[in-house]
Structure 1
Amino acid sequence: MESIWVGERVRVRGIEPEESELLMEFDQDSTFMRNNDRLHPPRSKAGYRHYLESGVGTPNDDEFGAGIESLADRRLVGWFGTNGIDKNSGVFSYGIAIGTDFQRRGYASETIVLLLRYMFGERRFQKCDVEVYAYNTASLNLHQKLGFVEEGRRRRSQYFAGEYHDVVLMGMTIEEYAAAYSLGTVESS
């Protein structure tokens, strides 16, 4: 059996409530949090568990969150979530976070390719937009390597660590994706 959600290094899957402590561990790293979102106030173990049990990230076809599991370790190494769903124009966005100890192993790039294959090839979206903090050169390089094109910059649009930061706007169309990656195939059983 083949799954669109399994690559060579990762499996995309739901996050179980008992994995809430791992999310809590990721949130303890301020650099990690600033690179992926922003710093949040401290939350208890019960708070993280409630977050997962409350249906946040409960999947629907277009807007959903999921965990990223390393196939080698069978361990949760990160997560992503789609957002900015605009069905009228066929555009969506996502955020992705890989734990600091698991970065630069190809998990993010493989997960993004799997996600784009689903959104472009199964859900009929025609474009993906992402926003990357300008100082996050690793994420900028990753998205450029995958084929995203820089489309602009919002100056001084985020504030944290006592400073204002620019956000780089990047995008990829279905045609750009299809030129570099497979949209999948249909086989009879």
Structure 2
Amino acid sequence: MREIDYSHYFWQDEKIRLRSVQEEDWEGHYINRFDTPARRLLECTVELPPTIAESRKFVDTFAEFSSQRLMFTIENLNGEYVGGVNLNSIDEKNGTFSIGVQVDRDHRGKGYGTRAINILLKYAFLELRLNKFNECALEGNEPSAAMLRKVGCVQEGVRRKVIYTNGQYLDLLLLD
């Protein structure tokens, strides 16, 4: 296959590129499932032990953008797997949506998640004509709340003690 010229490609910036989920991404998904603290903040629960079969099914489900959740793989410009990001909860009638992101432990703190969200925000607002980005962060998940503030979100409210995990009820910070 010819070399791809990414110089005019919508789905990248100076540091990262978003691409479709591919068969080989099952391993990154599988390995990320062993990061219980990060997964607890993302899913608000402790997940059952990961399986290779579940990780392969995940890839099959989200490859080709065949799901209502638009799932992307984040890679750096060297082609290294960095994590995943998705556009979800799209309500076309009311113009609302959410974005989920998980960056591998080795790549956190480098701005990759913020960059990926910015690309998806541009797509959602300028191409899909959506109107409002709704997101939340679990109490104590300051890295996610800070990332959302970096992309322009402000805290709209708090849902008090609505998530039970790790033996306690936690607040959910509502940002938009």
Q: Closer, same or farther in 2 for the Cα pair 1:61/1:51, shift >3 Å?
A: closer
Structure 2 residue 4 is matched with structure 1 residue 16:
no
Structure 2 residue 157 is matched with structure 1 residue 148:
no
Quote the Cα distance in structure 1 between the aligned partners of 2:42 and 2:67. Answer: 24
Quote the Cα distance in structure 2 between the aligned partners of 1:80 and 1:112. Answer: 8
Instruction: Find the counterpart in structure 1 of residue 12 from structure 2.
Output: 6
Quote the Cα distance in structure 1 between the aligned partners of 2:33 and 2:146. Answer: 24
Q: Closer, same or farther in 2 for the Cα pair 1:161/1:58, shift >3 Å?
A: farther
- Match of 1:56, SS? helix
Instruction: Find the counterpart in structure 1 of residue 82 from structure 2.
Output: 77
Q: Closer, same or farther in 2 for the Cα pair 1:63/1:28, shift >3 Å?
A: closer
Instruction: Find the counterpart in structure 1 of residue 140 from structure 2.
Output: 135
Quote the Cα distance in structure 2 between the aligned partners of 1:51 and 1:60. Answer: 12
Question: Is the Cα contact below 8 Å between 2:138 and 2:173 reproduced in 1?
Answer: yes
Structure 2 residue 120 is matched with structure 1 residue 111:
no
CA shift, 1:61, in A, is 9.7
Q: What RMSD in Å do the two structures reach over aligned CA positions?
A: 1.7
- Number of residue pairs the alignment of both structures matches: 169
Question: Is the Cα contact below 8 Å between 1:58 and 1:64 reproduced in 2?
Answer: no
CA shift, 1:39, in A, is 2.4
| 1:38-70 CA distance string (max 9 Å, x none) | 3211132122112212x2364269741111111
Q: Letter of the 1:130 partner, please give it.
A: E
Instruction: Find the counterpart in structure 2 of residue 33 from structure 1.
Output: 39
- Match of 2:170, SS? strand
Quote the Cα distance in structure 1 between the aligned partners of 2:49 and 2:123. Answer: 34
Quote the Cα distance in structure 2 between the aligned partners of 1:93 and 1:76. Answer: 23
Gaps of 5+ in 2: 1-6
Gaps of 5+ in 1: 172-189
